[in-house]
Amino acid sequence: MAKFKATDPSRVVVDTTLEILVHIKHLLTASVIALTVASPALAENVLRWTSQGDALTLDPHSQNESPTIAMNGQMYESLVTRDADLILHPELAESWEAGEDGWTFNLRKGVKFHDGADFTAEDVVFSFERAKHEASDYKEQIKSIVSMEVIDDYSIKMVTNGVNPILPNQLTSLYIMDKGWAEANNVLVPQDYAAEEENYAVRNANGTGPFILESRAPDELTVLTRNADWWGEGMFPGNVDKIEYRPISNAATRVAALLSGEVDFVLDPPLQDLARIKSTDGLSVKTAAQIRSIFFGMDQGVDKLRTSDAEGNPFKDVRVREAMNLAIDREAIKRVVMEGLAFPTSMITSPGVLGNTPENDPPVETDPARAKALLAEAGYPDGFTVRLDCPNDRYNNDEKICQAAVSMYARIGVTVNLDAIPKSQHFPKIQNRETDFYMLGWGVPTLDSHYVFTYLLDSQGSWNASGYNNPRVNEITAAIATEIDGGKRTSMIVEAWDLIQADMPYVPIHHQVLAWGLSSAVDIPIAADDAFRPRFAVMK
Amino acid sequence: MLSFIAKRLAQSVLVMAIVSAVSFSLFNFVGDPVNNMVGQDATREQRLEIRDKLGLDDPIITQYGRFVGNMLQADFGLSYRIKRPVDDLIAERLPATLELVFVSAIISLFFGIVLGIYTGIKRNSWISRVILSTSLAGVSLPTFVIGIGLIYLFAVHLRWLPSSGRSGVVELGWWKTSLITLEGWRSIILPAITLSLFQLTLILRLVRAEMMEVMRTDFIKFARARGLSERAINFRHALRNTLVPVITIIGLNIGGLVAFSVVTETVFQWPGTGLMFIQAVNFVDVPIMAAYLVFVALLFVVINLIVDILYFVVDPRIRLGG
């Protein structure tokens, strides 16, 4: 401590403070030196990255959620996988073929789990049974599989309930666990909500994948190291030896970590910070069209709208639905709300999904005058009122898009009252059919229109709160589930889309764009499904 | 004394019961957890089944009764989001929050008292004016703005300190500490300063006001008349009398620091209970929200109880009056 100069107490305070500041300065300088010395000493390629939300669990069958799937996909593998261009590739299966009543998969030989156990058909049967368990979040995806026949250690037949032409597409996030490991650790079934104890698989992993779990502190730090015994060693461009993943929930902090050089890769920088990242030396932004389309749904199924002053239900009239489409200026939304990062469209599914065609995809011309005329023709010359339900924490700028739409509808005389609320309150409204007019975004993991039809357009679709019911579309939805002839199937999908585009049950806005922030030290191919695939990550 | 404590304890239990009941009844307005718990391709039946299993459709009072019953058996259930026992999660994250609060309390106490004394004695110096006007920023700027500002200055621009996270963690038994490594101190310093600023300002202004008050009293004048040195007057007589209200405020504010840490922890990705709570709210992770609110209520109740008892010990007027 400072020596006191007896007469002036203020001096004491100032001296002490100064002395402490000097100490702090020494401490800081010392640590800066320590940091600069420590960094170059790393000989191996360490990739440090961040995103908003950590994986919820390492149990591969417990949660069907993108960050969880992406994290587990670095340690676990599925029979079939997709590359960054979303093209199907063999992973644990070397080949597969469709038969009359199911699919036969020929498995890769010589594959070992991280603990050294051999990968065989038995593990596939075990993992699929586990994924079909009641507590699994994947049981819907593979419900078409009724039984499995092990032909030998390296070939297996999946018997389906009727023909399922897209089974391989449905298996890309169905990861394979080792039966022996699961038995030894008592994780035969996925974690149940009602259970009282955490099961071993929540924080431990034993897959066949290119990376091995070294340590895991949920929401803090997860460290993975390269699996030198991986079957694909040398077959992929990736040269990462170690991955350090640190989730950062605050967007500004996440960007700061990239700007300060503490991470090499940010999966989800906020749109408004992209310009800042781009303009920083040594950093770059990659963008790609995402497989997720944003649109409004109009309930044309009920006889009387719940939140409208109109007699009956205006949305039952296709002219009103067309007017609702013509009123939206999608280019303005792209320019003003989305900072240019959107692909305006008139389809509710994205390019890359079988069924999206260049003819149907371009947005309709904005035409408020014609929209007003159509409303008048339909018997609503003065418009009507309706409430728009909108999430405010789910999609890029979701609430702002809705606000823009409100003013665009005002121009044609439709008074829209906006109700923007958190997603956990918004989605139940759609599921319980309690909304007249709502925003929804839809991604398509199978990249096939069947996934769109069955949830959003079939009259029984669980997310079809639009009440849309076209018998031919329902018929096609059922037919393409079992049509194995590719040409015939595609023409049915195209036929259905033509009907849908004419009926206009939804107001499509745009396809989302996803953006990644990268340091120049690393190159990672961006993928439309927003998944980080470290086997393609190259560090310079 | 005993009857005084017993009375206070009974009041505390009542407060706990009310706080937990009110917070619990709020959960129904947060939204539906089931939607976050299953994939988008889950069927309506599956959703209903989970609702049923979790008892989400029971009347609030039934749900609350079940919660209290489990709580009394120290069973807070499993987090909906990460499917781990809630008591484990809180025990795991509490050290991070407590260390952050501890360091912030030290910073705000030390600088608050030192600067308070200085500005109290040297009322008219320009340094005092600068300190006082900057301290206004401490109370008026929102915590997250200060946090982001510090990150951009010290992590992005100067690159002296890490922008976020808690590194240099060492396990001492079940307690994970980051206070015994340089790395740990480097990562705690920005969040601790951010969290401390509000309290620091408060203490500074309180000490200053008290100091000025005390300096006007007769016993200081008398001490001066006795010819005591300025140092003895300021530190032995004035400061001591200043500290009584300061200690009271500090006790109450420790609870405030824990509550404020929600924002600070989110900005700095500090893996404590506050960050866990925010994530739970976004997901509608009811078990974590319920346990956290009960925990914070308990903390406030215990601190208040201790302060009350300390009053009883320190201040003879309460003893006589009560």
Q: Identify the residue whose tokens are 């994947």.
A: A138
The dihedrals phi and psi of A59, each to the nearest 5 degrees, come to -70, 115
User: Of A129-143, A377-391, B71-85, B193-207, where does the model show the most confidence?
Assistant: A377-391
At residue A43, does pLDDT exceed 70? no
Ranking A25-29, A272-276, B26-30, B77-81 by mean pLDDT, the lowest is A25-29
Q: What is the mean pLDDT of residues A269-281?
A: 91
Query: Which residue in B has a C-alpha nearest to residue A32's C-alpha?
Result: B160
Interface of A with B in 248-307 (CB under 8 A): 248-250, 252-253, 256-257, 259-262
Rounded (to 5) percent helix, strand, coil in chain A: 30, 20, 45
Q: What is the mean pLDDT of residues B47-67?
A: 82
The dihedrals phi and psi of A225, each to the nearest 5 degrees, come to -120, 155
At residue A278, does pLDDT exceed 90? yes
Lookup: tokens for B35: 């939607």
A vs B, Cβ pairs < 8 A, gives: 179
Cβ A424–B284 below 8 Å, yes or no? yes
List the single best residue of B156, B193, B194 to mutate versus A (max A Cβ within 10 A). B156
Residue A26's pLDDT band (cuts 50, 70, 90): low
Cβ A13–B35 below 8 Å, yes or no? no
**Inter-helix orientation angle B86-121/B273-283, to 10°:** 120
- Residue B34: burial class (beta carbons within 10 Å; 0-12, 13-18, 19+): buried
Q: What is the mean pLDDT of chain B?
A: 84
Q: Can you tell me the distance from the alpha carbon of A20 to that of A25, in angstroms, rounded to the nearest whole number?
A: 8
Cβ B41–A256 below 8 Å, yes or no? no
CB A384 within 8 A of CB A415: yes
For residue A177, which of A228, A125, A226 has the smallest C-alpha distance? A125
CB A439 within 8 A of CB A294: yes
Residues of B in contact with A63 (CB under 8 A): 39
Cβ A10–B118 below 8 Å, yes or no? yes
Q: Can you tell me the distance from the alpha carbon of A56 to that of A265, in angstroms, rounded to the nearest whole number?
A: 20
At residue A438, does pLDDT exceed 80? yes
The shortest C-alpha distance from A64 to chain B (Å) reads 5
Run of H or E residues at A303: none
The DSSP result for A393-440, as a single string, is SSSTTHHHHHHHHHHHHHTTT-EEEEEEE-HHHHHHHHHTT--SEEEE
At residue A42, does pLDDT exceed 70? no
CB A38 within 8 A of CB A44: no
Run of H or E residues at A351: none
Residue A508's pLDDT band (cuts 50, 70, 90): very high
Q: For chain A, what is the radius of gyration of the CA atoms? A: 27
Cβ B121–A259 below 8 Å, yes or no? no
Among left, alpha and beta (phi > 0; psi -120 to 50; other), residue A339 is left
Q: Which residue has the higher pLDDT, A250 or B233?
A: A250
Q: Which residue has the higher pLDDT, B26 or A222?
A: A222
Check residue A196 and give its pLDDT. Answer: 66
Taking the CA atoms of residue B238, residue B241, residue B242 and residue B244 in that order, the dihedral angle to the nearest 10 degrees is 160
Query: Which residue in B has a C-alpha nearest to residue A16's C-alpha?
Result: B114
Q: Can you tell me the distance from the alpha carbon of A76 to that of A69, in angstroms, rounded to the nearest whole number?
A: 10
Check residue A165 and give its pLDDT. Answer: 87
Q: Identify the residue whose tokens are 């019911």.
A: A469
Q: Can you tell me the distance from the alpha carbon of A238 to that of A258, in angstroms, rounded to the nearest whole number?
A: 21
3-state SS string over A118-145? ECCHHHHHHHHHHHHCCCCCCCCCCCCE
Interface of B with A in 202-221 (CB under 8 A): none
Q: What is the mean pLDDT of residues B52-58?
A: 82
Query: Which residue in B has a C-alpha nearest to residue A68's C-alpha?
Result: B82
Interface of B with A in 55-114 (CB under 8 A): 75, 77-78, 80-85, 88, 114
Q: Can you tell me the distance from the alpha carbon of B97 to that of A524, in angstroms, rounded to the nearest whole number?
A: 36
Task: Using CB atoms, pick whichever of A14, A249, A257 lies closest to residue B163.
Answer: A257
Which are the contacts of B127, defined by CB distance < 8 A and separation ≥ 6?
A14, B118
At residue A193, does pLDDT exceed 70? no
Check residue B167 and give its pLDDT. Answer: 86
At residue A244, does pLDDT exceed 70? yes
Among left, alpha and beta (phi > 0; psi -120 to 50; other), residue A157 is beta
- Would you say how long chain A is, in residues? 540
Interface of A with B in 365-424 (CB under 8 A): 393, 422-424
Residue B293's pLDDT band (cuts 50, 70, 90): confident
Check residue B214 and give its pLDDT. Answer: 84
Run of H or E residues at B99: helix B86-121
Rounded (to 5) percent helix, strand, coil in chain B: 80, 0, 20
Q: Identify the residue whose tokens are 């190159």.
A: A523
DSSP code, position A270: -
Other CB atoms within 10 Å distance of the CB of residue A489: 22
Cβ B114–A13 below 8 Å, yes or no? yes
Share of chain A above pLDDT 90, in %: 70
Q: What is the end-to-end Cα distance of chain B in Å, rounded?
A: 9
Check residue A295 and give its pLDDT. Answer: 97
Cβ B54–A431 below 8 Å, yes or no? no
In this structure, which amino acid lies at residue B81?
Answer: R
Q: Can you tell me the distance from the alpha carbon of A315 to that of A297, in angstroms, rounded to the nearest whole number?
A: 10
The answer to ipTM > 0.90 is no
Cβ B83–A191 below 8 Å, yes or no? yes
Query: Which residue in A has a C-alpha nearest to residue B96's C-alpha?
Result: A220
Query: pLDDT tens, A397-415?
Result: 999 999 999 999 999 999 9
- Buried b or exposed e, range A72-97, using 16+ CB within 10 angstroms: bbbbbbbbbbbebebeeebbbbeebe
- In terms of pTM, does the model score above 0.80? yes
The DSSP result for A151-205, as a single string, is EETTEEEEEESS--TTHHHHTTT-B---HHHHHHTT-SSPPPTT-SS--GGGT--
Q: Can you tell me the distance from the alpha carbon of A50 to that of A257, in angstroms, rounded to the nearest whole number?
A: 9
**Cα atoms in the Cβ-side hemisphere of radius 13 Å centred on B53:** 16
Check residue A23 and give its pLDDT. Answer: 52
Cβ B83–A57 below 8 Å, yes or no? yes
Q: Report helix, strand or coil for A355.
A: coil
Query: pLDDT tens, A350-373?
Result: 998 999 999 999 999 999 999 999
In this structure, which amino acid lies at residue A57?
Answer: T
Cβ B164–A220 below 8 Å, yes or no? no
Q: What is the mean pLDDT of residues B53-69?
A: 83
What sign does the dihedral A460-A461-A464-A470 (CA atoms) show?
negative
Other CB atoms within 10 Å distance of the CB of residue A494: 16
Q: Give strand pairing partners of A106.
A: A95, A155
Lookup: tokens for B213: 């008050």
Run of H or E residues at A533: none
Cβ A253–B163 below 8 Å, yes or no? yes
Q: What is the mean pLDDT of chain A?
A: 89
Which are the contacts of A126, defined by CB distance < 8 A and separation ≥ 6?
A177, A179, A182
Q: What is the end-to-end Cα distance of chain A in Å, rounded?
A: 50
Task: Using CB atoms, pick whichever of A32, A62, A217 lies closest to residue B160.
Answer: A32
CB A339 within 8 A of CB A515: no
The shortest C-alpha distance from B61 to chain A (Å) reads 20
Cβ B41–A220 below 8 Å, yes or no? no
Cβ B83–A196 below 8 Å, yes or no? no
Residues of A in contact with B32 (CB under 8 A): 424-425, 427-428
Q: What is the mean pLDDT of residues A300-313?
A: 92
Task: Using CB atoms, pick whichever of B42, B122, B269 lies closest to residue A253.
Answer: B269
Q: Give strand pairing partners of A95.
A: A106
Q: Does B16 touch chain A (CB under 8 A)?
A: no
DSSP code, position A536: G
Query: pLDDT tens, A71-122?
Result: 999 999 999 999 988 899 999 999 999 888 899 999 999 999 999 999 999 9
The DSSP result for B285-316, as a single string, is -HHHHHHHHHHHHHHHHHHHHHHHHHHHHH-H
Query: Which residue in B has a C-alpha nearest to residue A9's C-alpha?
Result: B231
Q: Can you tell me the distance from the alpha carbon of B148 to that of B264, in angstroms, rounded to the nearest whole number?
A: 10
Share of chain A above pLDDT 70, in %: 91
Query: pLDDT tens, B248-271?
Result: 777 777 778 887 789 999 999 999
Check residue A34 and give its pLDDT. Answer: 44
Cβ B84–A202 below 8 Å, yes or no? yes
Check residue A39 and give its pLDDT. Answer: 45
In this structure, which amino acid lies at residue A106?
Answer: N
Residue A385's pLDDT band (cuts 50, 70, 90): very high
Q: Report helix, strand or coil for A496.
A: helix
At residue B320, does pLDDT exceed 80? no
**Cα atoms in the Cβ-side hemisphere of radius 13 Å centred on B177:** 9
Lookup: tokens for A215: 């340590």
At residue B137, does pLDDT exceed 60? yes
Which are the contacts of A301, defined by CB distance < 8 A and separation ≥ 6?
A466, A467, A468, A469
Check residue B8 and give its pLDDT. Answer: 82
- Residue A162: burial class (beta carbons within 10 Å; 0-12, 13-18, 19+): exposed
Q: Which residue has the higher pLDDT, B88 or A507?
A: A507
Check residue B279 and give its pLDDT. Answer: 87
Task: Using CB atoms, pick whichever of B151, B229, B278 lies closest to residue A253.
Answer: B151
Lookup: tokens for A326: 């013509």
Q: Can you tell me the distance from the alpha carbon of B195 to that of B261, in angstroms, rounded to the nearest whole number?
A: 7
Check residue B319 and give its pLDDT. Answer: 61
Task: Using CB atoms, pick whichever of B50, B165, B282 lies closest to residue A193.
Answer: B50
The shortest C-alpha distance from A15 to chain B (Å) reads 11
Q: Which residue has the higher pLDDT, B67 or B192?
A: B192
For residue A424, which of B31, B285, B279, B39 has the smallest C-alpha distance? B31
CB A455 within 8 A of CB B41: yes
Interface of B with A in 263-322 (CB under 8 A): 266-269, 271, 275-276, 278-279, 282-284
DSSP code, position B5: H
Q: For chain B, what is the radius of gyration of the CA atoms? A: 24
Cβ A9–B80 below 8 Å, yes or no? no
